[in-house]
Structure 1
């Protein structure tokens, strides 16, 4: 298995800081995931990258690892399509364009969208996050 490294700090440290044990598979998948900067991908995308890189890992392990990373605050889930779940390495508050037909997700600069007039949440609840996804299609 190839060694991978996160550009800003080692993936081992990132995992420990997030409260996750740095297993061999988490380190390999995390290295692939975070080495390319901010991006959006599916479990299938990451699995394909892992296979191409010689990382022996099942698709189920990739799904489990992505969900563990999400629960630890290292990723953000984007429910863009009903058939696919996208994972975002940029966990800051921001919104997205979704290019229909290409299944491509693009970040929108944080200052470009204002969300107002949100309803009051039910008693005992608070709004944790607002996701705006603007769907695009190519002009015909």
Structure 2
């Protein structure tokens, strides 16, 4: 009973974002949005798609994630030059990145106070500020 409603919701979501609701986009949207806010890499989503028997290439997953980001359905969070996560929570917030586990965790925007930002280069304006706090597991002390 829930599946048709979710399927219909994803069709509406894609159309509202200006994207044609293809079979592959709908299948990936279902995987992305079915269980609330989350952070996912293209490789993780590709693995989930294969487990769900969705015939899709890694290149298609990358293209779809970038299309979803450009249309406002996702937010791309670049934590390193070669590592991006795609966040289903597109609202204003920041992140902890656990380097040991590769886990990205939300920090509500109200928990960080930003002040005294530099003036942007001439002819530009600040569009957004995103804070990523990198953390590592603390060494255990003998005691």
Distance in 1 between residues matched to 2:12 and 2:52, nearest whole Å: 22
- Residue 86 of structure 1 is matched in structure 2 by 85
- Residue 109 of structure 1 is matched in structure 2 by 108
Ranges in structure 1 where 5+ consecutive residues have no aligned partner: none
Residues 48-59 of structure 1 mapped to structure 2, 5 A cutoff = 48-59=47-58
Please tell me whether residue 13 in structure 1 is matched to residue 12 in structure 2: yes
1:5–1:43: structure 2 CA closer, same or farther, 3 Å change rule? Answer: farther
1:26–1:5: structure 2 CA closer, same or farther, 3 Å change rule? Answer: farther
Q: 1:29-51: CA deviations, max 9, x gaps?
A: 01100111111110000000000
1:108–1:5: structure 2 CA closer, same or farther, 3 Å change rule? Answer: farther
Q: How many residues align?
A: 137
Distance in 2 between residues matched to 1:4 and 1:85, nearest whole Å: 31
Ranges in structure 2 where 5+ consecutive residues have no aligned partner: none
Normalising by the residue count of structure 2, what TM-score does the alignment of the two structures yield?
0.90
Residues 1-140 of structure 1 mapped to structure 2, 5 A cutoff = 6=6, 10-140=9-139
1:4–1:108: structure 2 CA closer, same or farther, 3 Å change rule? Answer: farther
Structure showing greater Rg: 2
Secondary structure of the corresponding residue to residue 74 of structure 1: coil
Normalising by the residue count of structure 1, what TM-score does the alignment of the two structures yield?
0.92
1:100 Cα shift? Answer: 1.0
Secondary structure of the corresponding residue to residue 67 of structure 1: helix
Structure richer in strand, relative to its length: 2
Secondary structure of the corresponding residue to residue 10 of structure 1: helix
Q: Which runs of 4+ in 1 moved over 2 A?
A: 3-7
Structure richer in helix, relative to its length: 2
1:4–1:26: structure 2 CA closer, same or farther, 3 Å change rule? Answer: farther
Contact 1:4 1:31 in 2 (8 A): no
RMSD of aligned alpha carbons: 1.6
1:6 Cα shift? Answer: 4.1
1:121 Cα shift? Answer: 1.2
